[in-house]
Amino acid sequence: MGIKKHKPASPGTRFLMTNTFAEVTTDKPEKSLLAPMKSKGGRNNQGRMTSRYRGGGHKRRYRIIDFKRDKDGMKATVKTIEYDPNRSAYIALLEYTDGEKRYIIAPNGLQVGSEVVSGESAAPVTGNTLYLKDIPLGSTIHAIELRPSHGAAMARSAGTYCTLMGREGKYAVVKLPSGEVRRVLSSCKATIGTTSNPDHNLTIDGKAGRSRWKGRRPRTRGVAMNPVDHPMGGGEGRASGGHPRSRNGQPAKGKKTRKPKKHSNKLIITKRKSGKRR
């Protein structure tokens, strides 16, 4: 992948850095794997705004992704590598030997024409999906299931990966991108390799309009509001706002919000890295 720095032909392109999409091989998605996706604008089923600063944006269609990889033992050929407007990583179109086509999260380095397979008999190479009990220790993996046969839930965004650290009984020990080390059932599946589009975090929008294209509206700071609108609002002059907190009064910047009796706490060996530097 590459990042393109644009010439400063206008204020919007002065700092603009975009993706070159060098890995993408086509701009025409598979019609049978498209689904309509209606924009909600942050509203719930009663029409009330439950998520602020959302709305507008370009019309999109959802790409149906195969997160389960349940066609075990059947080889599939990579037909295309495509851009997906609904996620940061690229997607790959697979065609199985029985003629069925499916989309998957494209691993980094996967080429058109490559063959991938899933199941116990699969080799631990990039793009293949295996059970955690069959993956060699130290392997780089992504698209990991949290519960068997429920589909991939972890390490799906661009450039992310986990590391298989070891095994403890019926569990596999996995190190996540956040630094957290946790146990996952060995009967869960994972895909070998890292996700595609690793330089996604280097892109720069360059102008506010590009955020509007993505459906993001301007965000108002809490300290710029009135006291009736936000706990940090009000004050004479440029008041700092006091203790940082959300609009509902939930403390921010350091307050732990994870439930102390959460069921998955017993599976976590090492907590994720803290954002604060001491």
Give the three-class secondary structure for 43: strand
Beta strands in 71-187 (DSSP E): 76-82, 91-96, 101-105, 115-116, 129-131, 140-142, 144-145, 152-154, 162-168, 171-175, 181-185
Task: State the Cα–Cα distance between residues 130 and 145, nearest whole angstrom.
Answer: 11
d(Cα 5, Cα 3) in Å, to the nearest integer?
7
This prediction has a pTM of: 0.92
Return the closest-CA partner of residue 196 out of 88, 53, 41: 88
* 275 pLDDT tier (thresholds 50, 70, 90): low
157-189 pLDDT per residue, tens: 999 999 999 999 999 999 999 999 999 999 999
Find the distance separating the first CA and the last CA of the chain, reported in whole Å: 36
Among residues 259, 267, 254, the alpha carbon closest in space to that of 182 is found at 267
pLDDT of residue 276: 55
Does residue 15 sit in helix, strand or coil? Answer: coil
Identify the pLDDT of residue 142: 98
Rg of the chain over all Cα atoms, to the nearest angstrom: 22
Are the CB atoms for 222 and 247 separated by under 8 Å? Answer: yes
pLDDT 10s digits, 150-159: 999 999 999 9
Give φ, ψ of 9 to 5 degrees: -75, -20
For residue range 34-59, list pLDDT tens digits in order: 999 999 999 999 999 999 999 999 99
In this prediction, what percent of the chain has a pLDDT beyond 90? 92
Within 10 Å of residue 9's Cβ, how many Cβ atoms?
Answer: 9
- Domains, the chain, ordered by start: 3-201 (2.40.50.140)
Q: Can you tell me whether residue 198 is helix, strand or coil?
A: coil
- Secondary structure percentages of the chain, helix, strand, coil, to 5: 10, 30, 65
